[in-house]
Structure 1
Amino acid sequence: MTPLVYVFEEQARDLLSQTGDVRLVDGVAYGFDDWTVFHAYTEKPYFTPSGFICPCVAIRSDAAGFVDEEKLMAEVRRRVDPDGRPIVVLVTGTGAGGSPSCRALILTENGIAGADTRFVPRRSELFTRNTGLLETSALAEKKVVIVGLGSGGSPIALELARAGIGHFTLIDFDRLELGNISRHVCGVNDLGRYKTLAVRDQLLQKNPFAEVSTMEVNVNQSLSQVEDAVAASDLLIVASDNDQSRFNLNQMSLNNNKVALYGRAITRAAGGDVLRVRPWKGPCYNCIFSSGLIDGREEEMSQKRQALAVLPAYVEEDKINTMIQVGLSSDIAPIANMMTKMALVELSRGIETGMSTVDEDLASDFYVWANRREEAYANWPRMGFKWTHPSILRWYGARVDRDPNCLVCGGHLEQEPTT
C-alpha cells in the first residue's frame, strides 16, 4: 500500500510563516504497521507518542512550489543516519486559497517512495461533530481541576478532553502500578509513571490543543498550592480516595465560590454516589458526609496505601491484600460517566446548548447508584420488570438540603458570597 503520513496543520503553518531562507528542519516521526503509517512532527510533539521512532526532516518549498528532489534527498542522506529505518521528508508549501499544503516522501535503502499526506486539523475543526450539543469554542476556554487520576478521575479527564475542554490541572501523587492497569485509561507502557503525566499524554492525544498542567502533590500537605489552582478554575472535580482530602477540597471550593463534584465507589464497587456542591446554594460535602446518609456505605479500598493507613504496623502481607477489594472497570464507569455529564452541565451553564434539558433533569445535588445487590444494597428487591421500587443499575436522586448546623457552611449563612 501507499504509505500514509499524518502531519499537524499548525506545524506546517508555523514552518510557512518563518521568514528568510528555511533550510532543513529536524523533526521526528513515529512509524506503525510495518512502516506503512507515519505520524510526523516538525517540532517536539505535545505528548509522548507511540510507534517506532524514525528520522523526519522538513523543508519549505520556494514561492513557485518547486523543490529539487534529487538535491534534497542527497542532502538528507548526508545529514541523517537512519540506521536502517525510513526517513520521512516533508515538503511544505502554500496551496489554493493560501492554505498550507504538504507533500511527504519516504526515503529508504531501496530508494524514494511517495506517500499520501493528511493533516491533523486546527483546533476549530477538531470537535466539529460536537456542534449543536456543546458550544466547543466556549468550552475551550474552560478550566477544570481534577484531583485523583485513578480509575474514576482518569476517564472523566479523558471524556472532558474529548468534549473540547481546553484547560486542565491534574493533581495526584500516585504512580501507575500493575494492579491499576485493568481499570485505568493508561496501559502497561505507562507503568511507574506519575498518573498525572500519563493521563496528560492521553488527554493531548484526544485534544492536542489543550493546556494541561500537573501537580504531583498530596492535597493534604500542599493546601495553599492546591487552593491557588482551585481559585483559578471554573470547576473542581474530586475523585480522590480519602475523606481528609475531600473535606479540605470542600473548604477550598467554599472559600473560592467554585462548584465542586465529588464521586466515589463503595466496597468492591458494588455501587457509589456523586455529590454536586454549589457553594452556599445547597449542601456542602460536610453536610452530607457527616450525616446518616452514608451509614453502611463503606468506601472501596483499592490500593495498598489505603490498607496500610488503617491496619496496625507490621501486619502480614496477606492481611493487606485481603483488605484491597477492587471492583471492575465497568462498575466504575457509571459513576465516572455521571460526573462527566454533571461537569459538562456546569461548564456549559449560560450557553445555549443541548445540555440545558439535562440541567433541568439533574435537579438533585446527591445521587446514588447500585451495581449489584450487595453491601449497602443487599436488601434491595430484584430488578425484575418493575420501575417503582429501588433497583440496581439505576440512578436515584436524593433530596438533601443544606444543613443550617453544618460546622463548615452552616455557621456562615450571613456571609454568603454574591455571584
Structure 2
Amino acid sequence: MSTNDPVQRQMIREAMQAVAQRKPGRSKLVYDKTKRTIVAVTEGAQTPQALNITADDADMFGVITVSSEWLREKWPELNRAGILPVAFSSWDDGDALTQSELCVQASPITVLGTFLLDQYQAESSQGLAILLERTEASSSKPDVFVSPEGTRYRGQIVQPAQPSCQPSDIVFADVEPQLALRRSGILETTILQDKTVLCIGLGTGGAHVVVELAKCGVGRFLLVDRDRLSVGNVVRHPGGISQVGRLKVNVVRDLILEKNPNAKIEAHALEVGFGNKDLISELVRASDIVICGTDNRQSKLLINELCITANVTAIYGGAFRRAYGGQILRVRPKHSPCHQCFVAAMPEEASDVEVSSEVDANEIAYSDQPVAVEPGLSLDVLPIANMLAKLALLELLADKSSTLNTLRRDFDAPWYLWLNRPEPGTPYADWPPLSESSDEMTIKRWYGIYFDRDEACPVCGHFVASLAASYGLDPSLLPALPAEE
C-alpha cells in the first residue's frame, strides 16, 4: 500500500539510497515477519512503521533497470542455481540504479546485487536482492520479464534473508527492440545494421554526425582522429568536461554506444597523411561511405584520391571562419565532381574554413604571419552537421524503400551552401534577411549548387590526355605511367 506520509516516504528514500551507496543511513529497510511487509526504521525509534513499496512509490527510491537480453542469456545459470550475482551503476545518490551491462560510461559507484528465482534464498544479506516470481501480467509491460521459455516474471526488492511479496519498481529493458521500434516505418534499420561508416575527423561536426547516424541504426563505425578532447572543445563538442584529456576516438566511441549499444566500432588514434596511406586505404575500402570532418588540406587530398580509387562515396563538411556559414560537398565517384574538381572550380570557397584551435592555425599558416583562431558557436555548426548526416543517410539507403526517398530529388546537387549570417567581407555580406526576400538567396536556407567535373582533373578526369592535347600531342604515343606499388 502506498502512502502520502512525507516522513515515511523520506525514510524509505534514505534507506534505498543507503543501500545504493553501500553506506549506513539514518533509515533502513527491515522485513517484518509478522506483517509480511517491508518496514522503514529510523535510528532510536521504538516501533518500526510499515510501508509497502509499490510501483507508485517510484519517486521515493528511483528506478532499477535490468537488461532483459543479459538476463535471458544468464537464465540457464539462474534456473539451475537459483541465485545470480549482478552489478549496478548508481546514479544521482541512488535515485536510479542501472545494470552495468547497460552502461558505457558507468557511474563510479557500483552496487552489488543478486537475483533470486522464486523462493530461493540469498546466501549473503549484503547488497541489493531482487526476487523474480511468476506473474500473469502482460508481457508488454516494462516491469515484466519474459524468460526464454516464455514464462513471465516480475521483480521485487527484498531483504535477502526474508523475501517480500510486495511489488517494486524494477524495469526490464529490451534495448535493441525498443530502439528499433522508434525508427521503424521511417528507416530500413535492418539494412543500416550492416552498413559501415568511416569518419575521419571527430571535432564538433564529425562527432555529431556519427552519433546521429548511430541513433538511426548504423551498425558499424570506423573512427579516425589523432586529437584529444581539450577544455576548449567542451563548449561545442558532444563530449563533456569529465572526458577532457581522452582521445576523441574513445570519447565518440562511448557516445555512439550510449545510443546504439550493439554498434561495432574501430577506433584509430592516428594522423591522416601519406605516411599511413595503406591503412587509410584499407579503412576506405571497408566502408560504405566516408565522412570527412577534417579541415586539413593534405588529408582531404588523400581521402579524395583513395575514395575515387575505391569507388566509395565521400561527403566533406565544414564551417566557414567563425561559423558564419558552412558547406558540404558530396562526391560520388564517376558520377559527380570530386574534391579536386571543387578546389579547381571554387578555390575561395574551398579555402574558407573555420580555424578552431591553435593547431589548425599553425597548419595553415604558410607565412610567418600568425593566423587567428576564430571558432564558431556550436549552434552555428550543428545545422551543417545535421545536413551532412541526412545526406549520408540518403546514400546509405540508396535503392531501398524508405520514407526519405522523397528527398532524393531535392538533394541531387554535389555542393550545398548554408549561411548563418551575412558576414562582412565575404561574397555573402549583402544577402537580404530571411524575412525580406522570397526570390533571392538568403541566410538560414540550404542551397544545392551544381558545377561540372573537370575533365582534366588529375584525380577523377583524363589529366594526361588533356595535358597532351594542350601541347598538340597524341596521348596514345606517350609512355605508360608506372603502376603504384
TM-score (norm 2): 0.74
Superposed CA offset, 1:61-105 (max 9, x none):
2xxx3322xxx1x5253xxxxxxxxx3334567747615746253
Extract unaligned runs of 5+ from structure 1: 78-86, 415-419
Paired position in structure 2 for 1:401: 452
Matched, 1:332 2:419: no
Query: Displacement, 1:334?
Result: 1.0
Matched, 1:377 2:431: no
Matched, 1:364 2:421: no
Quick one: which amino acid aligns to residue 129 of structure 2?
Answer: V
Paired position in structure 2 for 1:261: 315
Q: Which moved more, 1:239-248 or 1:120-129?
A: 120-129
Do the aligned partners of residues 117 and 8 (structure 1) sit closer, same or farther apart at CA in structure 2, a change above 3 Å counting?
same
Do the aligned partners of residues 297 and 27 (structure 1) sit closer, same or farther apart at CA in structure 2, a change above 3 Å counting?
same
Query: Displacement, 1:19?
Result: 8.4
Query: Displacement, 1:229?
Result: 1.4
- Secondary structure of the residue aligned to 2:64 is strand
Aligned mates of 2:322, 2:293 — CA distance in 1: 16
Paired position in structure 1 for 2:339: 285
Query: Displacement, 1:56?
Result: 2.2
Query: Displacement, 1:23?
Result: 7.2
Do the aligned partners of residues 278 and 295 (structure 1) sit closer, same or farther apart at CA in structure 2, a change above 3 Å counting?
closer
- Please report the RMSD computed on the Cα atoms of aligned residues, expressed in angstroms: 2.8
- Secondary structure of the residue aligned to 2:316 is strand
Do the aligned partners of residues 106 and 48 (structure 1) sit closer, same or farther apart at CA in structure 2, a change above 3 Å counting?
farther
Moved over 6 A (4+): 111-114
Q: Is contact 2:198-2:291 (8 Å) kept?
A: yes
Do the aligned partners of residues 2 and 410 (structure 1) sit closer, same or farther apart at CA in structure 2, a change above 3 Å counting?
same
Aligned mates of 1:104, 1:283 — CA distance in 2: 62
Matched positions, count: 388
Paired position in structure 1 for 2:210: 157
Extract unaligned runs of 5+ from structure 2: 1-59, 134-144, 466-485
Q: Percent identity?
A: 31
Query: Displacement, 1:284?
Result: 0.7
Aligned mates of 1:175, 1:99 — CA distance in 2: 48
Q: Is contact 1:297-1:376 (8 Å) kept?
A: no
Do the aligned partners of residues 135 and 292 (structure 1) sit closer, same or farther apart at CA in structure 2, a change above 3 Å counting?
closer
Quick one: which amino acid aligns to residue 9 of structure 1?
Answer: S
Quick one: which amino acid aligns to residue 348 of structure 1?
Answer: L
Do the aligned partners of residues 310 and 402 (structure 1) sit closer, same or farther apart at CA in structure 2, a change above 3 Å counting?
closer
Q: Is contact 1:12-1:102 (8 Å) kept?
A: no
Do the aligned partners of residues 90 and 240 (structure 1) sit closer, same or farther apart at CA in structure 2, a change above 3 Å counting?
farther
Matched, 1:391 2:442: yes
Query: Displacement, 1:17?
Result: 4.0
Query: Displacement, 1:294?
Result: 2.9
- Secondary structure of the residue aligned to 1:361 is coil
Do the aligned partners of residues 284 and 278 (structure 1) sit closer, same or farther apart at CA in structure 2, a change above 3 Å counting?
same
* Higher RCO (CA < 8 A, seq sep 6+): 1
Query: Displacement, 1:364?
Result: 0.4
Q: Is contact 1:7-1:117 (8 Å) kept?
A: yes
Query: Displacement, 1:57?
Result: 3.2
Q: How does 1:12-91 map to 2 (within 5 A)?
A: 12-18=71-77, 21-22=80-81, 25-41=84-100, 47-49=104-106, 51-59=107-115, 61=117, 65-68=118-121, 72=122, 74-77=123-126, 87-91=127-131
Paired position in structure 2 for 1:298: 352
Quick one: which amino acid aligns to residue 408 of structure 2?
Answer: D
- Secondary structure of the residue aligned to 1:377 is coil
Do the aligned partners of residues 412 and 28 (structure 1) sit closer, same or farther apart at CA in structure 2, a change above 3 Å counting?
farther
Paired position in structure 1 for 2:473: none
Quick one: which amino acid aligns to residue 31 of structure 1?
Answer: S
Q: Is contact 1:269-1:300 (8 Å) kept?
A: yes
| Larger-gyration structure (1/2) | 2
